[in-house]
Amino acid sequence: MKERTELELMLGNMLADPVFFQVDQRLRAPNLFSIFSMEYQKSRYSSLLAYFLNPNENHGLEDSFLRQFLSHALKSMPAAADKDPDSLSPIPYAKVKESILDWDQLDVLSADLRETMVTTDYPLGEEGRTVDICIWNEPYSFAVYVENLIVPKEGWRRYHGSGMRSQKSLTGEYVLDLYRRWASDQNPQPYQILPVSLRLGSLRSAEQHVTRQLEYPWMIDVLNTLVKSPTVASHTRLLITDFIEHLRCAYPEFLEMHGLTHQLSQLVDQYGPAICRLFDHVAECSGCDSDDDLITAYHDIYRRHRACVEALWLHADSVSYPLLTEIRGQIEAMRFDEDMVLYQTASSLSGTCKRWMEETPRNGDEEVRAPAEIYFSASVGSCGIFVYQEPSRGMVDKIWFVAREIAEEMEMELSEHTPTSRNFHLAKKYYDAFSPIEIARDFIRFYKLMDDIFKELHR
């Protein structure tokens, strides 16, 4: 583990750093979206965008933002425009193409779209699917279906190992449903339809033959221009200003590459180990009463500078560590179980087992998830086992009870049982220097411990 004096020195220097002060002041500035904890809440973002797009609302934008949105959507090209669209569906693309909205830019920008209707969570098909934002206009007989692709930050600690879950875009599903409706003789709608994906993050639309691809940065530029219009209401100016600043702070790597991202990189380069160890502790501690001065400092710094520390942690966790490829190779060479599943992010490796998932109790149609995960985090510098509270409290207690006996036989030290709201460490080891072979051996040992626990539980 990093020497206490080194960590203490890093934290002291960080708090005195002018760059830290600037970032902290900016992230702590009052903002409606941060106050109401709306980070990464796609439904809230969709509701706000629907409000701006709707010319019947009292924002003062009238149909100006809507016309700009449609103009950019029609101007953009589908990602797979040069590929054979008939490979996507058995329905002939020629039939589908007749129903795709096809306006030129002048038509859109000169049209009167004040009779347009906008809603969120619009039902589509007979299987309960919905589209995030639906825009339709009866006078011009068109509808636009918008999927709002907002991907949460992937810090493995923030979501307690959720990297083992996959993000899914539903665009492909609703576009295929449209294919069926368009090709049906019983379809009473004369509307032309345009599917659009609006993306902020790394997730792409599953359907790329007809879906127009838009990115958030252009929208922010447009809103920045429109907010200066004299017709815009004062409350709209506040909403737009706070929304843009909120997005820039939440997604600086996409929206502010040379500003906040550069400052975060500076701080992580200098103080990364201390930041990650601090966050590693407070993220899983539900409030300790330790007399340790360093632990007390962790909680005090986090309490006073929470937004800044979290932003630094997420940035540190997004940094790529080429060493992980070598460690993964060593783990693959040592693996003894073909059911082992590995997942790799920029800064971490996670491992679980198909059998653990099959043996985990579940309710109805809920997602099957193993109640434990082996991990190595290069940003924190630790390897260990996470046990999740989510699957079943009874399962968690059984794992802990059986683990003590098996760990004793394996001469392995378990972590102190300090459960939080969602997870706890069953075992954990810190490293000062990274040796791929040593880390791989520890990873396999922890995996074997967890596998032996499951074998004992399901005898």
CATH number, position 340: 3.30.1460
Instruction: Name residue 359's amino acid.
Output: E
Same domain? 300 vs 352: no
In a domain, 377, yes or no: yes
pLDDT at 376: 94
In a domain, 22, yes or no: no
Mean pLDDT over residues 150-177, rounded?
Answer: 54
In a domain, 24, yes or no: no
* For residue 312, pLDDT beyond 70: yes
Q: Which of 101-105, 170-174, 336-340 has the lowest mean pLDDT?
A: 170-174
Q: Which residue has the higher pLDDT, 95 or 211?
A: 211
Taking residue 136's Cβ as centre, other Cβ atoms within 10 Å add up to 18
Q: Are 178 and 193 in contact (CB under 8 A)?
A: yes
Tens digit of pLDDT for each residue in 97-139?
777 888 887 788 888 999 999 999 887 666 667 789 999 998 8
Of 214, 235, 254, at which residue does a domain stop? 254
Q: Which residue has the higher pLDDT, 173 or 283?
A: 283
Q: Which residue has the higher pLDDT, 186 or 141?
A: 141
d(CA 248, CA 221): 12
Give Cα 396 distance to the centre of its chain. 26
pLDDT at 169: 47
Band of residue 295 on the pLDDT scale cut at 50, 70, 90: confident
In a domain, 183, yes or no: yes
Domain of residue 430, residue span: 323-457
Mean pLDDT over residues 173-184, rounded?
Answer: 53
Same domain? 242 vs 267: no
Q: The tokens of 121 are what?
A: 């969570």
Same domain? 10 vs 42: no
Sign of the dihedral defined by the CA atoms of residues 146, 53, 27, 229, in that order:
positive
Query: What region, left, alpha or beta, does residue 248 occupy, with left being phi > 0 and alpha being psi -120 to 50 degrees?
Result: alpha
Same domain? 204 vs 277: no
Same domain? 197 vs 335: no
Same domain? 60 vs 203: yes
Q: The tokens of 43 are what?
A: 């439904």
Q: In what order do the strands lie in the sheet with 192-200?
A: 117-123, 130-137, 142-150, 192-200, 212-215
Q: The tokens of 102 are what?
A: 């096809």
d(CA 368, CA 362): 7
In the block, residue with structure tokens 């004992």: 456
In a domain, 267, yes or no: yes
Average pLDDT, the chain: 82
Q: The tokens of 405 are what?
A: 């006996």
pLDDT at 293: 87
Mean pLDDT over residues 235-260, rounded?
Answer: 90
3-state secondary structure 298-353: HHHHHHHCHHHHHHHHHHHHHCCCCHHHHHHHHHHHHCCCCCEEEEECCCEEEEEE
pLDDT at 202: 72
Q: Are 233 and 239 in contact (CB under 8 A)?
A: no
Number of domains in the chain: 3
In a domain, 361, yes or no: yes
Mean pLDDT over residues 2-25, rounded?
Answer: 92
* For residue 401, pLDDT beyond 90: no
As a 3-state breakdown, the chain gives helix, strand, coil percent values, each rounded to 5, of: 45, 15, 35
Same domain? 219 vs 307: no
Mean pLDDT over residues 94-99, rounded?
Answer: 69
Report the alpha-carbon angle 328-333-337, nearest 5. Answer: 95
Band of residue 46 on the pLDDT scale cut at 50, 70, 90: very high
Q: Are 427 and 412 in contact (CB under 8 A)?
A: yes
Same domain? 277 vs 147: no
Same domain? 62 vs 199: yes
Same domain? 248 vs 350: no
* For residue 168, pLDDT beyond 50: no
Mean pLDDT over residues 79-84, rounded?
Answer: 62
Q: Which residue has the higher pLDDT, 157 or 104?
A: 104
d(CA 233, CA 244): 17
Return the closest-CA partner of residue 372 out of 414, 310, 423: 423
Return the closest-CA partner of residue 28 out of 428, 311, 256: 311
User: 42-53 vs 234-250: helix axis angle to the nearest 10?
Assistant: 140
Of 291, 318, 345, at which residue does a domain stop? 318
* For residue 421, pLDDT beyond 60: no
In a domain, 25, yes or no: no
In a domain, 66, yes or no: yes
Same domain? 265 vs 154: no
pLDDT at 354: 82
Band of residue 269 on the pLDDT scale cut at 50, 70, 90: very high
* For residue 90, pLDDT beyond 80: no
Return the closest-CA partner of residue 444 out of 457, 427, 458: 427
Same domain? 237 vs 277: no
Of 318, 344, 364, at which residue does a domain stop? 318
